[in-house]
Amino acid sequence: MRQVQVSQPGGPEVLKIAEAPVPTPGEGEVLIKVQAAGVNRADISQRQGRYALRPGMPSILGLEVAGTIAGLGPGVTRWKEGDDICALLTGGGYAEYVVTPAPQCLPVPKGVSVIEAASLPETFFTVWLDVFDLCHLRSGESLLVHGGSSGIGITAIQLAHTLGSRVFVTAGSQAKCEACTALGAEAAIDYRSTDFEEAIQNLTTGRGVDVILDMVGGSYTIKNIRSLAPLGRLVFINFMESSRGEIDIALVMGRQLTITGSGLRPQTVERKGQIAEKLEKIAWPLIEGAKIKPVIDTVYTLEQVAEAHRRMESSAHIGKILLRM
Ligand SMILES: NC(=O)c1ccc[n+]([C@@H]2O[C@H](COP(=O)([O-])OP(=O)(O)OC[C@H]3O[C@@H](n4cnc5c(N)ncnc54)[C@H](OP(=O)(O)O)[C@@H]3O)[C@@H](O)[C@H]2O)c1
């Protein structure tokens, strides 16, 4: 089979297509014939050599795919050969075949193509883990999402809005802001022209928001803390500006704030399986009912993988970037 290999840490030009053996599914795993793979920000860091892979994590890029079950390891009962599925991976998705634990697979939602389904797993698992599991966002509460037009952002907006929350976002251009409000954000703040802290104070008449999903860190940290309502929760999923930030302990105590964060990839198969069950029960019917839709920016071929990475690094995209096998 063909797969994309990182010949050495560096720019998009280090991505090379190479031949490799088709993997064999182990106990509890499925073999997937991949139709499309999602491109994620973590793939960029990994290609640059800035992502510390833990033992057992594949070195091949690719955290999510959609395709057809082509083989079953011992003990798999839920799926059969020929089923169309989308799946969360710990790596290996930039390839024609990949194996993953069966609990990390979900059916392709009705009304969504197999290619489009490759855009779903990484962001839905992440948003569920961070916004709903860790921060317990409830209907009627408010959510601020930074990077509103990112793959993560478009999923967070749609899930939270559809489940009854007021959603505010920040994004880096007017076009990105418009895309976010079209997906259900009540207000989108162009952070290049408007101070988001001041905007959130105005939008919430000084109360602040209940939950903030942050991937920026750095200078956003103290502004996030000042933007939280009493009993507010702040969750970090990355620190694209800096992993260092300022915290005002008096505010954390006074407002009884919770500050948390997580990485999806190192979670156990069991935890990922639990999230998959929640998604299938709660989010998949919303996709099938067209209340939530995949937002695809561009689909590239496997040969165009370097171009796909360049587009993501340009941050010009809105929504997800995919690779078609
Ligand atoms: N912890 C986890 O488990 C987990 C899982 C998945 C993703 N993530 C993280 O979530 C974030 C979004 O992921 P994604 O794959 O959806 O990425 P993406 O589509 O590439 O979106 C990232 C967006 O963030 C915005 N941004 C804000 N500050 C930035 C900065 N300093 N540098 C670069 N971009 C900046 C950019 O849009 P603007 O024009 O609006 O600035 C950019 O388009 C990434 O940081 C990723 O690592 C974490």
Q: Is 39 close to ligand 1, i.e. is its CB under 6 Å away?
A: no
Task: Note the pLDDT of residue 285.
Answer: 98
The atom of ligand 1 lying closest to the CA of 39 is: 15
Task: Note the pLDDT of residue 119.
Answer: 98
What does the block give as tokens for 122? 């990484």
Rounded to whole angstroms, the Cα distance separating 5 from 59 reads: 8
Q: Is 176 close to ligand 1, i.e. is its CB under 6 Å away?
A: yes
HEC states along the chain? Answer: CEEEEECCCCCHHHEEEEECCCCCCCCCEEEEEEEEEEECHHHHHHHCCCCCCCCCCCCCCCCEEEEEEEEECCCCCCCCCCCEEEEECCCCCCECEEEEEHHHEEECCCCCCHHHHCCCHHHHHHHHHHHHHHCCCCCCCEEEECCCCCHHHHHHHHHHHHCCCEEEEEECCHHHHHHHHHCCCCEEEECCCCCHHHHHHHHCCCCCEEEEEECCECCHHHHHHHCEEEEEEEEECCCCCECCCCCCHHHHHHCCCEEEECCCCCCCHHHHHHHHHHHHHHHHHHHHCCCCCCCEEEEEEHHHHHHHHHHHHHCCCCCEEEEEC
Task: Note the pLDDT of residue 123.
Answer: 98
Q: Is 43 close to ligand 1, i.e. is its CB under 6 Å away?
A: no
Task: Note the pLDDT of residue 98.
Answer: 98
Residue 287 Cα to ligand 1 middle (Å): 23
Task: Note the pLDDT of residue 311.
Answer: 98
Residue 240 Cα to ligand 1 middle (Å): 7
Residue having the nearest C-alpha atom to atom 43 of ligand 1: 315
Domains of the chain: 2-120+292-324 (3.90.180.10), 124-261 (3.40.50.720)
Task: Note the pLDDT of residue 154.
Answer: 98
Rounded to whole angstroms, the Cα distance separating 14 from 5 reads: 8
Q: Is 113 close to ligand 1, i.e. is its CB under 6 Å away?
A: no
Q: Which of 40, 127, 267 to mutate to test the pocket of ligand 1 (most atoms within 8 A of CB)?
A: 40
Residue 257 Cα to ligand 1 middle (Å): 24
Q: Is 41 close to ligand 1, i.e. is its CB under 6 Å away?
A: yes
Residue 78 Cα to ligand 1 middle (Å): 33
Q: Is 46 close to ligand 1, i.e. is its CB under 6 Å away?
A: no
Rounded to whole angstroms, the Cα distance separating 242 from 77 reads: 44
Strands 258-261 and 97-101: unpaired
Would you write out the chain's pLDDT as a tens digit for each of its 325 residues? 999 999 999 999 999 999 999 999 999 999 999 999 999 999 999 999 999 899 989 999 999 999 999 999 999 999 999 999 999 999 999 999 999 999 999 999 999 999 999 999 999 999 999 999 999 999 999 999 999 999 999 999 999 999 999 999 999 999 999 999 999 999 999 999 999 999 999 999 999 999 999 999 999 999 999 999 999 999 999 999 999 999 999 999 999 999 999 999 999 999 999 999 999 999 999 999 999 999 999 999 999 999 999 999 999 999 999 999 9
The atom of ligand 1 lying closest to the CA of 320 is: 19
Task: Note the pLDDT of residue 207.
Answer: 98
Q: Which of 152, 154, 176, 311 to mutate to test the pocket of ligand 1 (most atoms within 8 A of CB)?
A: 152
Cβ-contact 48, 8 below 8 angstroms: no
Q: Is 237 close to ligand 1, i.e. is its CB under 6 Å away?
A: yes
Task: Note the pLDDT of residue 219.
Answer: 98
Task: Note the pLDDT of residue 310.
Answer: 98
